[in-house]
Amino acid sequence: MRLLHISDLHAGKTINRISRNEDLEYALEQVKSILKEERVDILLIGGDIFDKFPIDADSKHLIMEFLTDVATHRVHVVMIAGNHDPYDNIKSFKPLRKLANIHAYDRPEKDVEKIIFRIEDLAIACVPYIHEKVITKAEETAGRDYAHKVSNYLQAVAHAVKDARYRILLAHLMVEGASYTGTEKESSVSPFYSIRPDQIPPGFHYVALGHVHRHQQIKAAPSLTYYSGSLYQLDFSEKGNDKFANLVVLEQDGVKVDPIKLDIKRPLYEVTVPKGESPERVLEPFKDKPGLFKVILEKDSKEDFSIGVKKDLVQRILGERLVWVQIKDTSVRWEKEVPELSTDLNILSMYDQFHKRLHGKEAPISVKKTLASLLERLQHETHQA
């Protein structure tokens, strides 16, 4: 049997009001070609199908058209909700199972048999993203930490499929030590919402993960485990990252995994124009290059009135390819040596760095865990609103 593993489509993604749906559509056309050329039987989608809620009509149409095109060619689609996907939105896809080979799993179930997809001698355990509030309600031992509860749930689904000849785990979760990009939601990649690699159950022939946007194998896991990564560069923290879909072939003597590289329609570039340099000279190599650009203009003082002229020049050179211009004042210096602030901050790291500045040490683990829990719960409540 032949499977294709993709994840993190993020339909509806924008950067500075520029829609990324054309980049996603370009990637999905390649996915459809791979399905046909490689004679794939099952498409696995590891969550984060949409980027935000409410979902716009164009994004919903894009996903629906893709799913029905795939199902028309007799490929089974098995999809789960990610942390960006409101449970009830993915639930709306469940009736498609009556008309086509589209199988949507919107939320974790107490009866784990409800999240097992079986076909011939293959069983796929489908574990959507588990919000802390949901799993706390579902278990009597609510005082245990998140990772322990998720690990117990994974053990339960592993037990449910143990008698199948071939066993796949499709899940949307964070594994400790995975290399992430910065576009993942901050609370969901914190250490408090990560499971250890050894908490992935042994016995699965392949573990198909979504959530982390960088393609990678989790080599420390007991089962063969991969993040397929996002299908296109979602924002500038993913610049330079190649994108893949994983072809998984279940053979008599084992499993073969073949990462297939995808073309990127509009690669993301971050270009710095040093102070004193001409934007025309620095941007010359990119003049005719397709892509989207973030340009950093360096200046040496607040009195550098030429910066406005340079900004207009950058706009004329790049046109619609320009996402934004950042002005960086290189003349600013701290009077005393202090830790440099990150340029890619989230709420958790901002608080941690604030605490270091104020008290000279990291914030207590208990405080950071509470903050992460509040952020995760806020995200869940927003999705259910």
Q: Please state, in angstroms and rounded to a whole number, the distance separating the CA atoms of residues 217 and 228.
A: 9
* Spatial contact of 151 and 174, defined as CB atoms under 8 Å apart: no
- The first and second tokens of residue 24, run together, are 């996603």
Placement of tokens 């499929």 in the chain: 161
- The first and second tokens of residue 298, run together, are 């360096």
Is the same domain home to 228 and 90?
yes
Residue that is last in its domain, among 262, 288, 315: 262
Is the same domain home to 272 and 257?
no
Is the same domain home to 234 and 90?
yes
Other Cβ atoms less than 10 A from the Cβ of 102: the count is: 22
Give percent helix, percent strand, percent coil of the chain, each to the nearest 5.
Answer: 35, 25, 40
Is the same domain home to 192 and 290?
no
* Spatial contact of 205 and 167, defined as CB atoms under 8 Å apart: yes
Is the same domain home to 300 and 171?
no
Is the same domain home to 152 and 104?
yes
pLDDT at 376: 54
pLDDT at 218: 98
* Spatial contact of 380 and 134, defined as CB atoms under 8 Å apart: yes
Residue that is last in its domain, among 238, 262, 286: 262
pLDDT at 143: 37
Structure confidence by residue, pLDDT tens digits, 5-62: 999 999 999 999 999 999 999 999 999 999 999 999 999 999 999 999 999 999 999 9
The number of folded domains in the chain is 3
Q: Please state, in angstroms and rounded to a whole number, the distance separating the CA atoms of residues 125 and 117.
A: 7
Q: What CATH number corresponds to the domain at position 234?
A: 3.60.21.10
Q: Is residue 342 part of a domain?
A: no
Q: Please state, in angstroms and rounded to a whole number, the distance separating the CA atoms of residues 327 and 309.
A: 12
Q: Is residue 336 part of a domain?
A: no
Q: What is the number of helices (H) and of strands (E) in the chain?
A: 9, 19
Q: Is residue 337 part of a domain?
A: no
The closest alpha carbon to 174, from 162, 185, 160, belongs to 185
Is the same domain home to 58 and 197?
yes
Q: Please state, in angstroms and rounded to a whole number, the distance separating the CA atoms of residues 48 and 229.
A: 11
CA distance readout (Å), 356 to 210, 339, 361, 375:
33, 9, 5, 21
Q: Is residue 334 part of a domain?
A: no
Domain of 360, in residue numbers? 347-384
pLDDT at 343: 38
Which helix (DSSP H) or strand (DSSP E) does residue 359 occupy?
A: helix 347-359
Is the same domain home to 143 and 108?
yes
pLDDT at 126: 99
Q: Is residue 230 part of a domain?
A: yes
Q: Is residue 338 part of a domain?
A: no
Is the same domain home to 256 and 281?
no
Beta strand spans in the chain (E): 2-6, 14-15, 18-19, 42-45, 76-80, 102-105, 116-119, 122-127, 166-172, 174-175, 194-195, 206-210, 216-217, 225-227, 243-251, 254-262, 268-273, 292-299, 322-329
Is the same domain home to 247 and 356?
no
Q: How would you classify the pairing of strands 243-251 and 254-262?
A: antiparallel
pLDDT at 180: 82
Query: What is the distance between the terminal CA atoms of the chain, rounded to a whole angstrom?
Result: 40
**Below-50 pLDDT ranges, the chain:** 138-143, 186-189, 334-345, 379-385
Is the same domain home to 220 and 362?
no
- The first and second tokens of residue 243, run together, are 């994108």
Rounded to two decimals, what is the model's pTM?
0.84
- Sign of torsion over alpha carbons 74, 78, 83, 88: positive
Q: Is residue 225 part of a domain?
A: yes
Q: Is residue 194 part of a domain?
A: yes
pLDDT at 331: 76
Strand partners, 326: 296
Structure confidence by residue, pLDDT tens digits, 256-299: 999 999 999 999 999 999 998 999 999 999 999 999 999 999 99
Strand partners, 246: 5, 259
Is the same domain home to 375 and 258?
no
